[in-house]
């Protein structure tokens, strides 16, 4: 059966697509999901028996872990202000569509992912405007450029914390200060940074932090959510409504947290896995994961320097490890990016991501539109040996292309 072939043996020999989803997951994640499915399996808010209470304790504990991870402090006095969704895209839709009204204006960076841009483009038809704050060709942003674009009708700044294309980290704390000064809501997308960079809700000044469970948090797909300040929660209209297991005597939407935003059954097996992943993450020495990933990033960048100097490829974004995550994009100069990615997989068993990475605005900013890039992203379980093998593989493939007559580029963006 096809399902019998799923698992580690089906993965490439070297997995360098951690920005898409982490692999392998944190130790204990799969076991926790299995234990939940076979030993509990109960719903929450919908049973008055021991198994249901056990499931509720698991969910509550996971909310507490997320408060700890994001340094909520006084920003969130109660874990009830942690809302579970199925991914960061759904979280951003909750926040964007729940907050904005016709006539509102929004600021975003020019590096945004479509998780932000598609909802905003959709809302343009309802009279909501947005302005892109221009970023430099390495993906960085000057907060002063953002402040100059604030209007009387500006309701919020919605911004990613780090680019999924080139790894550049944007100045969240500085933007948060500007938002506080001007009385503007600040929504931070941590898809690429949660679990890797230190993120404090207090220090960033964020009114809401959207996260996903399956990337840097090393948990399962289908998990995510957002942390929200009490004041902003009161301004949001729920995106999805229905049964919550609470105040069942009324057909009105609950006005208390988190039930107001958690209609229907949660992904409880996924939350069990996320709980285990967070336990593992929070047990690691502070800063150790980031240090490891940046060490690998530095090694890879150094390995690409000679090829760039020889005019065989272009490194996109920052050349050093300051102000970045473990995401590196390159563009080969004598072959199609898709061909390089295909040969890395076919000849060397190396998994990367090629194309536009659901971020066309970022590629326009970086000068890689419309051909896209080949993206390498490193995680906590990758090794120096894997990075060295990837470097040698890229060099060999590109050198081979330079020994052959150049052909037409035929990039297809994924």
Report pLDDT digits (tens) over 191-210: 999 999 999 999 999 999 99
Query: Mind listing the pLDDT tens digit for each residue in 158-168?
Result: 999 999 999 99
Distances (CA, A) of 201 to 62, 64, 195, 216, 382: 17, 14, 14, 17, 29
Average pLDDT over residues 331-360: 97
Gap between the Cα atoms of 259 and 248, Å rounded = 12
- Name the one residue in this structure whose structure tokens are 């988190």: 258
Give one DSSP letter per residue of 325-340, joined into a string: -SEEEEEESSS-HHHH
- Token pair, residue 308, equals 């760039």
Looking at residue 139, what DSSP letter applies?
Answer: S
Weakest mean pLDDT among 74-78, 127-131, 259-263, 362-366: 74-78
pLDDT at position 412: 46
In 3D space, the residue among 222, 227, 226, 225 whose CA is nearest the CA of residue 267 turns out to be: 222
Of the chain, the percentage scoring pLDDT greater than 70 comes to 90
Q: What's the average model confidence in pLDDT over 125-152?
A: 98
pLDDT beyond 60 at 76: no
Nearest to 376 by CA among 362, 360, 389, 361: 389
Q: Alpha-carbon distance 214 to 194, whole Å?
A: 10
For the chain, the average pLDDT equals: 92
When mean pLDDT is compared across 20-34, 39-53, 228-242, the lowest value belongs to 39-53
Residue 132, H or E segment: strand 129-133
Report pLDDT for 74: 53
**Which residues are CB-contacts of 255 (< 8 A; sequence separation ≥ 6)?**
none
Q: What is the rounded average pLDDT of the residues 12-30?
A: 95
Q: Give residue 246's pLDDT band: very low, low, confident or very high (50, 70, 90).
A: confident
With CA atoms as reference, report the closest residue to 263 among 240, 286, 285.
240
Q: What is the DSSP string of 183-197?
A: T-EEEEE-TTTTTTS
pLDDT at 126 over 80: yes
β-sheet bridge partners, residue 160? 189
Residues whose CB is less than 8 angstroms from the CB of residue 71 and which lie 6 or more positions away in sequence, other chains included? 198, 199, 200, 201, 202, 203
Q: Does the structure show a pLDDT above 60 at 282?
A: yes
Structure tokens at 271: 């939350």
Mean pLDDT of 292-309: 97
Mean predicted confidence (pLDDT) in 343-355: 97
Q: Can you give the pTM of this predicted structure?
A: 0.92
Give the Cα separation of 297 and 324 in Å (integer): 9
How far apart are alpha carbons 109 and 399 in whole angstroms? 36
Q: Is residue 75 over pLDDT 70?
A: no
Q: Report how far residue 9's alpha carbon sits from residue 251's, in angstroms, rounded to the nearest whole number.
A: 50
Question: What pLDDT, on the 0 to 100 scale, is given for residue 396?
Answer: 96
d(CA 164, CA 192): 6
Q: Give dist(CA 104, CA 182) in Å, integer.
A: 15
Q: Residue 377: beta bridge partners?
A: 17, 327
Run of H or E residues at 143:
helix 143-148
Sign of the Cα torsion 50, 52, 53, 54 reads: positive
Position 51 scores a pLDDT of 54
> Which pLDDT does position 127 carry in this prediction?
98
pLDDT score for 278: 98
Kindly tell me if the per-residue pLDDT of 414 is higher than 50.
no
Q: pLDDT tier at 404 (50, 70, 90 boundaries)?
A: low
Beta carbons of 345 and 12 less than 8 angstroms apart: yes
pLDDT for 3 equals 35
């Amino acid at each position: 059966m096809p399902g019998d072939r799923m698992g580690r043996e089906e993965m490439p020999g070297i997995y360098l697509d951690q920005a898409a989803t982490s692999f392998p997951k944190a130790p204990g994640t799969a076991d926790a999901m299995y234990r939940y499915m076979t030993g509990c399996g109960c719903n929450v808010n919908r049973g008055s028996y021991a198994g249901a209470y056990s499931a509720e304790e698991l969910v509550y504990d996971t909310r507490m872990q997320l408060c700890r991870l994001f340094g909520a402090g006084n920003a969130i006095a109660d874990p009830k202000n942690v809302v579970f969704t199925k991914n960061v895209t759904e979280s951003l839709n909750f926040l964007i569509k729940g907050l904005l009204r016709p006539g509102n204006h929004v600021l975003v960076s020019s590096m945004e992912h479509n998780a932000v841009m598609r909802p905003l483009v959709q809302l343009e038809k309802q009279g909501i405007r947005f302005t892109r704050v221009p970023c430099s060709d390495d993906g960085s942003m000057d907060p002063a450029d953002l402040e100059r674009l604030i209007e009387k009708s500006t309701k919020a700044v919605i911004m990613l914390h780090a680019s999924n294309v080139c790894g550049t980290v944007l100045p969240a704390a500085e933007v948060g200060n500007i938002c506080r000064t001007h009385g503007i809501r600040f929504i931070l997308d941590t898809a690429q940074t949660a679990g890797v960079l230190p993120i404090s809700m207090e220090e960033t000044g964020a009114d809401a932090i959207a996260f996903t469970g399956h990337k840097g948090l090393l948990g399962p797909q289908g998990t995510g959510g957002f942390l929200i300040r009490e004041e902003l929660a009161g301004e949001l209209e729920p995106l999805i409504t229905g049964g919550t297991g609470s105040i069942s005597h009324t057909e009105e939407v609950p006005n208390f947290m988190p039930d107001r935003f958690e209609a229907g059954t949660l992904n409880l097996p996924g939350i069990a896995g996320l709980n285990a992943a967070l336990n593992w993450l929070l047990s690691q020495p502070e800063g150790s994961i980031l240090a490891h990933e940046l060490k690998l990033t530095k090694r890879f960048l150094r390995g690409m320097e000679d090829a760039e100097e020889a005019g065989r490829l272009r490194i996109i974004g920052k050349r050093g490890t300051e102000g970045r995550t473990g995401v590196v994009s390159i563009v080969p100069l004598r072959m199609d990016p898709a061909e390089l990615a295909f040969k890395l997989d076919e000849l060397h068993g190396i998994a990367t991501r090629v194309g536009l990475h659901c971020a066309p605005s970022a590629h326009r900013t970086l000068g890689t539109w419309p051909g896209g890039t080949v993206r390498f992203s490193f995680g906590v379980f990758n090794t120096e040996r894997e990075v060295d093998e990837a470097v040698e593989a890229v060099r060999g493939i590109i050198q081979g292309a330079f020994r052959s007559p150049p052909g037409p580029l035929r990039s297809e963006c994924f």
